[in-house]
Structure 1
Amino acid sequence: MTVAVALLTTALVIVIALLAAAGAGKLARLDGATYPAALTRATTAFAAVITLAAAVAGALAALFA
Structure 2
Amino acid sequence: MPALTVVLFTVCLIMIAAFIAAAAAAKLARLDGATYPAACLVAATAFAAVLTLAAAVTGALNAVLT
**TM-score between the two structures when normalised by the length of structure 2:** 0.96
Match of 2:60 in 1: 59
Structure 2 counterpart of 1:21: 22
How many angstroms apart in 1 are the aligned matches of 2:52 and 2:13?
14
Corresponding residue SS for 1:16: helix
How far apart are the structure 2 equivalents of 1:62 and 1:11? Answer: 23
4+ residue runs over 3 A deviation: none
Structure-2 separation of matches of 1:2 and 1:36: 40
C-alpha displacement of 1:38: 0.2
Unaligned runs of 5+ in 1: none
Structure 2 spans left out of the alignment, 5+ residues: none
Code of the residue aligned with 2:38 in structure 1: it is: A
User: Map of 1:35-54 to 2, 5 A cutoff?
Assistant: 35-54=36-55
RMSD: 0.9
Aligned residue pairs: how many?
65
| Alignment deviations for residues 14-47 of structure 1 (CA, whole Å, 9 cap, x no partner) | 0000000000000000100000000000000000
